[in-house]
Amino acid sequence: MSLFRKISTLSLVLALPLASFALQRAQLLPPNGQTYFRISNTVAFWEALQKSSLGQLWQDQQFQDFMGNPELEAWHNFFYDGDTDEETRVFVEQMEMLTGEVVLAFDSETENIFIIAAMSDDDFEQSLELDENLRTVTENPFDVVRRSFQGVEIIQHIDSPGTDNETSSWQTHIGNTFILGYNREWVEQCIIRLKNDPVTEPAGLPVFNMNLPVNDLIRQSLKGSSAEVAAKDQSLFNALGLLNVNYLSCRIEMHDDEMVVNSTLNARDLENGLFSLLDTEPSELPTVTFIPEDLTSLEVGRIDLPGLWQEIPAILQQIDPGTKPQFDMMLAMLQQQTGINLEQDLLENLGTQYLSFSIVENDSASSVIALELKDGMAFKQGLESALTSPSMQPYVAAALDISDFLNHSIYTLKQAPSDEQMGIAVTDDYLLYGNPDGLRQTLRAITSTGAANNAFEQSQLVQGLRRHVPSEAFGFSAIDWKKYMHIIVAELEHGEIPALIMQNWARSGSALPPPDFSKLPTAEHIAQFFNVSYQYIQAGNNGLHQKIILKY
């Protein structure tokens, strides 16, 4: 069926903003087809998507004016580049038959596809008729051979027959299920299974699923390299801990007033490589007094920088044994120049829990990250000793601006533009990182002798986090996208992004018109389609689980 040479492209586009496990039909997938996408009900999914924030924004006329009001023909040219009008018509008609569950899988080695979809008898027969008609107009010849297996018809499509590029696919229809694949034995196995165990149609909320067998995909990517390169790349992936990841799965449920995304990273070990950066002990929403009431975003989590530092020598050793002595030499030189031991005087004084928050006022944002310190005084002494050592003075003078504020030093990089400057400051309990205005505001709140101010507890973000986040989570966040939209739109109006988009658009040769930035809607207009998002992440016996809730 010619549709299925094109549906893979469309399904990948569908999967970009979305992404768990399918139930009935996905169980028919072969072992080499575990990279898959699934929609539980295509019609219901699209109807629900139109109610989402992105769906409402896309239907807005002002936004369509900004996007160039692409016509249907442009979309056809985008998806069916190189096809005749008649071929496009057939493809569109065949896709319109996919109104229920659709499972699309890929063989990572051969790049062949497997399709399992709900389809009525009448639609299947009509699709076969369309294929027959297509043979008379397509520029790519194919033959059709009909056979039978256990009383069920199997249709073989032979593309480029009689040439070196000849390939065959097989399709069948049994009950209410359409099957397509590039392995006849698999299609026959599906027939046997479906005759004994009919599929029950999915019920409930429309769901989009994605499953990626990470370990298999990594190992497959190594097969195309030489033995030497493959061995080096495998050592790198192993050192980073990525070979311990079995799969990544995502499940998106479409509700009337929110989109809920549940993702699972199934891993055998969360203590090596990059995963050593994680501290999966539960975090608590802080009751500190320096978080402002009118915050735009809030994040709390844990990051184990000392743990990652301990892993770096092992990672370097596995990647390239020759880099380990160079790393040791660099540390020795740094200690000689600064007079401090980086690990003992700085890293060992770092805690693991951090919090960050931001405030958006008009088109500017002020943000601060506060990392807990085990011993703030020791960390401050180590930092000041390093920066004041004679050998470091020329570098410090060239790179840093040091200012005093309320008996605290703020260290800011000189080279950055004024609106992009970031700096650090140290208090008794926190290492602060942020823009200078945010740092001064935070230091002012920390050193205030007035009554404790916990007004931020009444904010929508904090109250939402307390409702949605379980006690086992080690990281969680909330963002008010209505407020943050001012920053996004300001970047599109005055930043470098529009020029980059237009350059890439011109190079791509896309059939779709480029966006017209002179018609970009205002931040206030776009913000009306968005609300607040919440997310959290927790560790379990089998890896990591993340949940994201996008309110409409």
- Average pLDDT, whole number, for the chain? 88
Q: How far apart are CA 333 and CA 325, in angstroms?
A: 12
- Is the pLDDT reported for residue 162 higher than 80? yes
From the list 446, 478, 451, the residue with the least C-alpha distance to 288 is 446
Handedness of CA 461, 462, 464, 469 (dihedral sign): positive
Structure tokens at 259: 């989109």
Question: For residue 7, what pLDDT is reported?
Answer: 42
3-state DSSP call for residue 443?
helix
> What is the reported pLDDT for 465?
95
> Could you tell me if residue 56 is inside a domain?
yes
Contact partners, residue 439, CB within 8 Å, separation at least 6: 368, 405, 410, 423, 424, 425, 432
Q: Would you give the DSSP letter of residue 99? A: -
The model's pLDDT over 503-545, given as tens digits with 9 standing for 90+, comes to 999 998 888 999 999 999 999 999 999 999 999 999 998 999 9
CA distance 35 to 210: 8
Asked, for residue 111, whether it belongs to a domain, the answer is yes
Q: Which domain holds residue 153?
A: 3-212
Q: What is the pLDDT of residues 304-347, one digit of tens each?
A: 999 888 888 888 887 778 888 888 888 888 888 888 899 999 99
119 pLDDT more than 50:
yes
Among left, alpha and beta (phi > 0; psi -120 to 50; other), residue 111 is left
**Between 481 and 510, residue with greater pLDDT:** 481
Model confidence over 370-409: pLDDT tens digits?
999 999 999 999 999 999 998 888 888 888 999 999 999 9
Numbers of helices and strands, H then E, in the chain: 19, 20
At residue 187, the pLDDT reads: 97
* C-alpha dihedral (201, 8, 211, 273), degrees to nearest 10: 180
Confidence of residue 451 (pLDDT cuts 50, 70, 90): low
Please give the tally of structural domains in the chain: 1
Is residue 470 one of the residues assigned to a domain? no
Residue, of 196 and 415, whose pLDDT is higher: 196
Q: Which residues contact 442 (CB under 8 A, 6 or more apart)?
A: 290, 368, 370, 425, 432, 434
Please check whether residue 321 lies inside any domain of the structure: no
DSSP secondary structure letter of residue 428: S
Cα 464 to Cα 63, 257, 292, 459, 545, distances in angstroms: 30, 15, 16, 9, 19
Per mean pLDDT, which range of 9-13, 59-63, 412-416 is the poorest? 9-13
Dist. CA 43–CA 100, nearest whole Å: 7
- The residues that bridge with 543 in the sheet, in sequence order, are 266, 540
Quickly tell me which residue has 């237009």 as its tokens.
502
Q: What is the pLDDT of residue 185?
A: 95
Q: 208-217 burial, b if ≥16 CB within 10 A, otherwise e? A: bbbbbbbbbb
Higher pLDDT, 11 or 532: 532
In a domain, 463, yes or no: no
Asked whether 263 and 546 are in contact (CB, 8 A), the reply is yes
* Residue 53: how many other CB atoms lie within 10 Å: 19
Q: What is the pLDDT of residue 3?
A: 41
Q: State the sign of the Cα–Cα–Cα–Cα dihedral 450, 456, 458, 459.
A: positive
532 belongs to a structural domain: no
The pLDDT value given to residue 501: 92
Work out the pLDDT band at 21, boundaries 50, 70, 90: very low
User: What Å distances lie between residue 408 and 115, 271, 368, 473, CA to CA?
Assistant: 63, 36, 16, 33
- Cβ atoms of 406 and 444 within 8 Å: the answer is yes
The DSSP call for residue 311 is H
**CA 239 from centroid of its chain's CA atoms:** 23
DSSP state of 342: I
Q: Is residue 101 part of a domain?
A: yes
Q: Give dist(CA 501, CA 490) in Å, integer.
A: 15
Q: Is 90 exceeded by the pLDDT of residue 92?
A: no
What percentage of the chain carries pLDDT values higher than 70?
A: 93
Specify the range with the lowest mean pLDDT, choosing from 36-45, 84-93, 191-200.
84-93
Tell which residue, 284, 320, 325, has the closest CA to residue 301.
Answer: 284
Strands 408-413 and 423-426: antiparallel
Residue 317 is predicted with a pLDDT of 81
Nearest to 1 by CA among 113, 138, 166, 169: 169
Average the pLDDT over 210-226 and give the result. 90
Tell me if 165 is assigned to some domain: yes
pLDDT at 5 over 50: no
Quick check: 351 pLDDT over 90? yes
Structure-model confidence comparison of residues 85 and 262, the more confident one? 262
Report the amino acid identity of residue 48: A
**Packing angle between helix 481-494 and helix 497-508, nearest 10 degrees?**
70
pLDDT at 140 over 80: no
